[in-house]
Amino acid sequence: MKKYSIKIYFVLIVLFTLLVFCCGCIGDLGENSKEKLNGTVPKTIEDQSCYDRAVESEPDNATAWCLRGMYYNNNLNRYDEALKSADKAIEINPGYGLAWLLKGYVLLNTGNISEAESSFENATSYNPELKEYVPDAEDYNFGGSDAFCLFYSVSD
């Protein structure tokens, strides 16, 4: 009886290993692996033109400007454009906490810690719920490879 259970376990392990390799969970994707992986990831936004069109079509929409700034900050590391977008959103709606939060993130990414802290204070004074998204500016290592990113989701 013991011999059969060892054989059954061995067969099950071999079958599981084959299943894992056949499903593509493990293994080499070949020389074009990056392109194959990128092809499977859904693209939410093709490029910044979507955000640029949004602010062109609704130039008085603070949220459109804020989202544009997030895209420029997070995806393109174009902090000058991101800061202009955040400032425009704040100009349209001075009490828009998310725009102030974005401005703080952009300022951190450009190494302006004192102004970033001021922007974070404004963000949390207008919207206290944003406090949990404020990073510790003093621990920020300017010039590092990881820039601060701010993401926003729209619920239905």
Q: How do residues 34-85 score in pLDDT, each as one tens digit?
A: 454 444 333 444 567 888 888 999 999 999 999 899 888 888 888 999 999 9
- What CATH code is carried by the domain that includes residue 131? 1.25.40.10
In a domain, 151, yes or no: no
pTM of the model: 0.64
What residues make up the domain containing 66? Answer: 49-135
In a domain, 90, yes or no: yes
- What type of residue is 67? L
In a domain, 25, yes or no: no
Rounded to the nearest 5 degrees, what angle is found at the Cα of 57, between the Cα atoms of 105 and 84?
Answer: 25
Number of domains in the chain: 1
Rounded to the nearest 5 degrees, what angle is found at the Cα of 155, between the Cα atoms of 154 and 156?
Answer: 120
In a domain, 10, yes or no: no
In a domain, 11, yes or no: no
In a domain, 27, yes or no: no
Q: What is the distance, to the nearest Å, from the Cα of residue 144 to the centroid of all Cα atoms in its chain?
A: 17
pLDDT at residue number 14: 54
pLDDT at residue number 115: 94
pLDDT at 145 over 70: no
What's phi and psi for 109, nearest 5 deg?
A: -65, -20
Please indicate whether residue 99 or residue 36 has the higher confidence score (pLDDT): 99
- For 78, other C-beta atoms within 10 Å of its C-beta total 16
In a domain, 40, yes or no: no
Stated length of the chain: 156
Distance separating alpha carbons of residues 83 and 148, to the nearest angstrom? 13
98 neighbors 123 (Cβ within 8 angstroms) = yes
Distance separating alpha carbons of residues 122 and 97, to the nearest angstrom? 7
In a domain, 73, yes or no: yes
